[in-house]
Structure 1
Amino acid sequence: MHYEEKKKHTNNSETPLVSIITPLYNASKFILQNIESVQAQSYSNWEQIIVDDASSDDSASLVQEIAKVEPRITFIQLDENAGAAYCRNLATERARGNYIAFLDSDDYWHREKLERQLKLMQNENASVSFTSYLHIDEDGNPLKKRILAIPKLSYKKQLLNNYVGNLTGIYNAGEIGKIVAPNIRKRQDWAVWLEAIKRSGKPAVGLQEDLAYYRLRKGSISSNKINLVKYNYLFYRSLGFNLIKSGGYLLRFFWEYFFVRPKYIQKL
């Protein structure tokens, strides 16, 4: 493993440091737009920790070139593929910010995303927040689909369905501590936001503004609904639920997914 340490950033109560976690795997087509959207943020006190999961394309070399001239980027390169959960956890371990945010390598942000969201968290005294976001295709074209953020998201409701788009979420690690994702191939982000809400002891606040862009790639795990049944079941098992309880929550998930969740999805 190669690890490049960058200079320290300011982390005070007025302009707290935000650590942005970015796992990277064979995303050379998208990673530059990802980084540019972070660099363009109106809120400038951030660090982006990018963990390359042994990519076979030129993703790593692209990031290395930018990291040479961008001190706010920390680049970690793995010698062997370890999975997204491992990459996120490693980056979280290295994070120095009071706030932790996530942005996968093929997604990107609106330029005022951090500024607006941090202001909301401070005004609402919230430990966890997320926003609405838009879907785009592999080439960046809009898919005319918006996922609306729920204004107040409780632990109970989050347990039934993952309502936090991972690319939109921020939690205050200074208040609730750092959260380790379970080492499961999919849905580990669901577990992170569920735990964050649990630790905070109050609902997550949702900002109903389109501040992030989620890229739907062909053949991705998230685009295969059949596989998601399996991953959802494994998610409940990762919470320590037994076979029967996991099956029961899976049935409740189906109800939430098909009959409740659609009201938070808008066609544009």
Structure 2
Amino acid sequence: MGAIITKDNQVSSFQLYMAARAIADLVYEYASPEVSGVDGIWLEDRRAEGVNPYCSQTSSGLFLELYYGQPGSIHTPWGKWNCWGSGCGSWEEKIPELLKRLDATVYKELVRNSQGEFGPIYALHRIGNLILPDSVAKTRNEELSYETAKAEWKRLTRDFHEFHGKQSPTEGCNKFALDNIILEARGHQESKPNGADIYNIAGLEQFRGKIVKYTRDSGKTWRYAQVWDTPVQRFDFSNGYCTYEEVMPNAQVHCRASFRDVDFQRGLVVRSTTDEEIQGIQFSYGK
């Protein structure tokens, strides 16, 4: 899971499946599956649904298709994965940053006609430290049958959850099942939150300038972040600390994040790290 995929390496079906999962999760750094939304953006969570093999199969790589200006679906070798649904809020400022993080290039331009708005569609070249193979659409003659594609997706989903020691959820149920367990990828399984963890902004005072680990989903996913020395007042209408975040195992960070009052209210938990644990972590945004 921690291996770097390059164009010189053979990319397995499971690696590409994992990349699609990571992209689906990445979008929820900009939106919330809850109607309350993050910065006013809500996006329905359909990540537990399966693919539609009747359209958008790829012979190589992945595509991202927008739907009326917001993330709509991922094109995979097994068909179109409508992992996001209805939404509200403006993506105008978020989409450029998202596309930059995915090293995306335009594959098909936006089309507007009497039937509606379609696209644009982007070829994706990177997710975190994973360099993806070139995005290529299948021809009709290359497409998998409906039965084969659905069976393969089901197998990969089962393997994904078995890899993390979880039972695969029923397709279509609305639950979080897409955990990219960062610390486990380093060979370290993290325990669930405990009484020594930090659950509020005030508790971060002791971690100014230090590296911590944190979870937003009750301990299923843990990541590393370096807390800024100085708190930021009233950014995003709340108090908090900006952070430098390591978003993939053994790779330099590609974004900045934040710990805010509202994040703790939504389940953020912060935990201390040991010197041995953080050896080798490098943050690309130096001070």
Greater relative contact order (CA < 8 Å, ≥ 6 in sequence):
1
Higher strand proportion (structure 1 or 2): 2
Highest Rg: 1 or 2? 2
Q: TM-score by structure 2 length? A: 0.28
Higher helix proportion (structure 1 or 2): 1
Q: TM-score by structure 1 length? A: 0.29
